[in-house]
Structure 1
Amino acid sequence: MENGPDTDPRRAFGQALRTLRQGARLTQQELAVKAGLGIRTLSDLERGTAGPRPATAALLVGALGLDRSDSEAFHTLAHAAWRAARS
């Protein structure tokens, strides 16, 4: 069964990533540089067209400076998005 746009974990992760990036007052370009990622990768993640590899999620957590609680929630979303991208 394929996930619809409202239930796709990649979309949920992308929305969370965008919200966190905007909350940190960073552009996509700035976050990509801080995390050591390509701008296209970050854009694909935010649009929900890709799921983050575990290492990518860890880079984003560090670049966003998330606390433990936010980091755990972010990794949970990232893991679901990664699994959805691989299925």
Structure 2
Amino acid sequence: METRQRTDPRATFGRALRGHRRDALLTQGELAAKAGLGVRTLSDLERGTSGPRPATAALLCAALGLGHPDAERFHALARAGWRAARG
């Protein structure tokens, strides 16, 4: 299980999301509200149990205020997580 968590793109995206949220000094509830998402959705994404839809990743990127190149990396991780969730 731990190996899967390290290599699963959803988990990688989740760690990045959590890091950006913490860097922004936001709680899950605050970020969820800013992005127009549910807290459970955000929690699932951070835990790597679900992959982000492209539109969700865009909402999170905007709510976090990520600039280039952070936004580019964030979207690349999101695309990999979304593919893993669908595959």
Instruction: Indicate whether the TM-score tops 0.5.
Output: yes
RMSD: 0.9
**Higher helix share goes to which structure?**
2
Moved over 3 A (4+): none
For the pair 1:20 / 2:20, whether they are aligned, the reply is yes
How many residues are matched? 85
Query: How much has 1:4 moved relative to structure 2?
Result: 1.6
Whole-angstrom distance in 1 between the partners of 2:5 and 2:12 = 9
The alignment status of 1:68 with 2:68, answered yes or no, reads yes
The offset of 1:25, in angstroms, is 0.1
Aligned residue number for residue 5 of structure 1: 5
In 2: Cα distance, 1:5 partner to 1:15 partner:
10
TM-score where L is the length of structure 1: 0.95
| Unaligned segments of structure 1, at least 5 residues | none
Question: Where does the alignment leave 5 or more consecutive residues of structure 2 unmatched?
Answer: none
